[in-house]
Amino acid sequence: MVQLTPEEKGMLAGSLGEGVALAMESVVRVAEVLGAPRLVKVSSAHISGVSYKNLGEEGVEFLEELAAKGARFSVPTTVNPAGFDMEVYREMGVGEEEYELQMRIVRALASMGARVTLSCTPYLINPPSFGDHLAWAESNAVLYANSVIGARTNREGGPLSVLEAIVGRAPYVGLHTDEGRAPTVVVDAGGVRSFVERTGAVSALGYLLGAKVKAGVPLLVNAPRNLAHPGNLRLFLAAVGAASSIGMVLVEGVSPEFKRVEGLKEIALEEGELERVLGKWSGEAFDAVVLGCPHLSPGELAELASRLGGRRVKGRVLVFTSRWAVSRAADAVEALRRSGVEVYADTCMVVGNLSALGVRRCATDSAKAAFYLSNQGYEVVLAPRNFLLKAVLSSQR
C-alpha cells in the first residue's frame, strides 16, 4: 500500500484537473508494483524516447491528450534527442511530413512546459545537486546523475518520466533510497588499468563492466586515472548503461558516495576480456567517424577544435551535440565546420538516421553507439577518440 500525503490524495481525486489525476493514477500504480512505500518529490525530470519513430502515432496522441486535458509539468523538465537536427533537417534527408510529425511531439511537450533541449546531457544543461531526487529517463544521464553528482534517480522509462514530471514525484524505491544505493559488488579494474590508461579504451571498459555485472551498484576500485576526465567518464557510464540495467557506479576518486565496503563479492576485470570487447567492433574500413554519444559538451567541442588546429579532416567526421552546447561553443563549432567536420544538434547517430546521411560503415569512440548501431545493421568500428582523430588527420586515408 502506497502512503499518499493529503496533497497527493487530492491530485489523485482531481483537485488539479483531469490530466494530473490521470498521471497520478499511473505513478501510484507503478509505485504499487515496485513495492514503494510512498512517493518522493523530484526537483527535475528528463524525458527520453521522443522521436516519432520511437513514440509512434499512439504515443504522440497520448502526449497531445495529456496536454489537452490541462496537464503541465510541475518541475523543470528537459527532453532527449529527436530524430533529426531541427534546423538542417532537409540536409538530413527528412521530408516535410516527417518534420511535422516530430513537431507535434515538440509542441505537445513544450505546451506542457518542457524545455525542449533535445539532448541526452541534462546534467550539463540543468545540473542537479547532491542529494536531489530526480525523475530521469535516459540511462547515461541517470548514471551520471547518480554516480558523479550524487543525485538520486532510477532509470525511468520515457512514458513514466512524462507522468512523473506532471505530478513532480516518483516512487520512493531503488536508487532513491540509501539501501538501494549501497554497493552490491566490488569491481577491480587493477588488471586493465594500465591498458586503459595507455590506449584510452574507457568506453570498452564501461561496456565490459556492464556486461559482467549486469545489475546492482558496482563499486569500482583501481579505476584508470584517465576515467576522471569528464568526457571519458561520460563515455564510460554510457557504455555501462548500454550493456546492463545498472543505474549507478561508485567510482573510486570520482563518486561522492564512494566508500570501501568489506565482505562484498569481488569481480576482477582482465585485459583479455577488454580486448574481446574491442574485437567485437574491430576493422579498418569506415566511411565516417561519428562522435558525440553522449552529446559532446562545450568543452569537448573546444578540445576537438583545438586538436584539429584548423587542419582539414580527411574523410567524413560527424559530430553530435546539443543546441545548448553549440551556442556555448560557437567559435569551436565554426572552427570544426571550417575543418570539414559536420556538426549536428538536437539528434544523435543512434536516434537519427545515419544511412540517410550516406553512412553505412562508421567508426566511433562510444561503445554505446557501437552497440546500438550494430544492432541497426551498421558496420561499426570502436576505437578511442585519439586514435580516430589521428586517422582523420593522417594523409594516408
Please give the residue ranges that form the binding site for ligand F3S (CB under 6 A). Answer: 80-81, 120, 140, 238, 293-295, 320, 348, 350-351, 368-369, 372
Nearer to ligand F3S, 30 or 135 (CB): 135
Nearer to ligand F3S, 286 or 320 (CB): 320
Q: How far is the CB of 14 from ligand F3S (least distance, A)?
A: 36
What's the helix, strand, coil split of the chain in %, to 5?
A: 45, 15, 35
Q: Is 305 helix (H, G, I), strand (E, B) or coil?
A: helix
Nearer to ligand F3S, 120 or 383 (CB): 120
What would the DSSP string read from start to end of 62-80? HHHHHHHTT---SS-EEE-
Q: What's the length of the chain? A: 397
Q: How far is the CB of 90 from ligand F3S (least distance, A)?
A: 21
What distance in Å separates the CA atoms of residue 286 and residue 259, rounded to the nearest whole number? 43
Q: Where does residue 178 rank: exposed (0-12), middle (13-18), buried (19+ CB within 10 A)?
A: exposed
Nearer to ligand F3S, 207 or 372 (CB): 372
Q: Rounded to whole angstroms, what are the CA distances from 245 to 77, 81, 125, 209?
A: 23, 21, 24, 11
What distance in Å separates the CA atoms of residue 54 and residue 365, rounded to the nearest whole number? 25
Q: How far is the CB of 51 from ligand F3S (least distance, A)?
A: 10
Nearer to ligand F3S, 258 or 372 (CB): 372
Q: How far is the CB of 34 from ligand F3S (least distance, A)?
A: 25
What is the separation of C-alpha 209 from the centre of its chain, rounded to a whole number of angstroms? Answer: 17
Looking at the DSSP bridge assignments, the partners of residue 267 are: 187
Nearer to ligand F3S, 174 or 294 (CB): 294
Q: How far is the CB of 45 from ligand F3S (least distance, A)?
A: 16
Nearer to ligand F3S, 106 or 348 (CB): 348
Q: How far is the CB of 133 from ligand F3S (least distance, A)?
A: 22
Q: Rounded to whole angstroms, what are the CA distances from 196 to 36, 67, 134, 155, 274?
A: 40, 48, 32, 27, 9
What distance in Å separates the CA atoms of residue 152 and residue 133, rounded to the nearest whole number? 5
Q: How far is the CB of 79 from ligand F3S (least distance, A)?
A: 11
What distance in Å separates the CA atoms of residue 384 and residue 397, rounded to the nearest whole number? 18
